[in-house]
Amino acid sequence: MDRISCHRAVEGLASDQDGVVSRRQLRQLGIDHDDIRREVESGRWVVRGTQTVALHRGALSVLARRWSAIWETGAAIGVLDGVSSLQHSGLTGYEDDDVHLSVVHNHNTRLLPGVRIHKVIRRVAGEVIDAGLPRTRSEIAAVRAAHWARSDRQAALLLLMPVQQRLTTPARLAAAQRLVRGRTRRSLIRSVVRDIAFGVQSLGELDFAALCRARGLPEPSRQVVRQGPRGRIYLDVRWDDHGLVVEIDGVHHGIGLNPTEDNLRQNSVTLAGDRVLRIDVIGLRLETRRFMDQVEAGLRLAPAA
């Protein structure tokens, strides 16, 4: 390959990687150390670390930083993981500027600016997507992101959002949770994944009635059947003497036309004279006290006329 063809090939490769290439990729295209030095001295290229070469002098984009993080850590060992893998797969609405990588625990790594390297005990079979930027599958990335999160709230969000945004399914997330071994908040992650996968059915573990008893609140009726304008309405929890209904929403309540049906049902119950409190199942897991404070306040109010 002549010099012009080599440089065209380099430019084509760099365009797919937001302007960066690795030294290994350059060697494979016939560009040696002296060629790189000449391009750098001419001001056309910039060396970014030990393995990364930028074909421009500007700041690196998010994608370029991800490629660089993998090369600088070791292309054979580092994989985009956690939040970064989810973002690369299309996750929106969650901000984290660091690049998160996972490496198997027996590999030595060095500190890199803006890169968080997480050691994992082992890789799960089939977890890595090799096409394009090496990254973990969304369900694996979500569970690891939850283990690495700074708070329980962040952990729950990182499990919930990939399912809501169709990056994975509740079933795949549940399977991943059983395979991924993390060091932190294991019980919480198991509970939240169960909530996501099975919705209010998982509430048997939490036992809403037990929460009421712990507060000294009266025992509610469960799965109450009422007649609405379009047929039967099934209410999760109702206190008959207080005119108070609590609806506990699983993850599926935010999908498709479910909010419309939920709103119609709630409106029918409200028009019939009951007050309705809505509690999402994961919120009840994370903010038990605050939601139960609202239930207690609702029970103290006189029934609607």
Q: Identify the three-state secondary structure at position 129.
A: strand
List of domains in the chain: 3-54 (no CATH), 62-198 (no CATH), 207-300 (3.40.960.10)
CA neighbor of 70 nearest in space, from 61, 83, 80, 60: 80
Which residue(s) pair with 20 in the sheet? Answer: 54
pLDDT of res. 205: 44
Q: Are 124 and 179 in contact (CB under 8 A)?
A: yes
Quote the CA–CA distance of 6 and 11 in Å, as a whole number. 9
The DSSP code sequence of 72-90 is HH-TTT-EE-HHHHHHHTT
Bridging pattern class, strands 231-239 and 20-22: unpaired
> pTM above the 0.75 mark?
yes
- Chain position carrying tokens 């998160």: 100
Give the pair of three-digit tokens for residue 2: 């002549």
Sign of CA dihedral 280, 281, 286, 291: positive
pLDDT per residue of the chain (305 residues) written in tens, 0 to 9: 667 778 788 889 899 999 999 999 999 998 999 999 999 999 999 999 999 999 999 999 999 999 999 999 998 899 999 999 999 999 999 999 999 999 998 888 888 999 999 999 999 999 999 999 999 999 999 999 999 999 998 999 999 999 989 999 999 999 999 999 888 899 999 989 988 887 655 554 457 888 888 999 988 876 566 555 555 656 678 888 888 888 887 766 565 556 677 777 787 878 778 888 988 888 888 888 999 999 999 998 866 55
Quote the CA–CA distance of 140 and 136 in Å, as a whole number. 6
Q: How far apart are the first and last CA of the chain?
A: 87
Rounded to whole angstroms, what are the CA distances from 263 to 86, 146, 173, 253? Answer: 31, 31, 28, 10
DSSP category for residue 17: T
Quote the CA–CA distance of 95 and 4 in Å, as a whole number. 41
Which residue(s) pair with 22 in the sheet? Answer: 52
DSSP category for residue 233: E
Q: Identify the three-state secondary structure at position 1.
A: coil
DSSP category for residue 304: P
pLDDT tens, 216-233? 998 887 656 655 555 565
Q: Are 115 and 73 in contact (CB under 8 A)?
A: yes
pLDDT tens, 80-122? 999 999 999 999 999 999 999 999 988 888 889 999 999 999 9
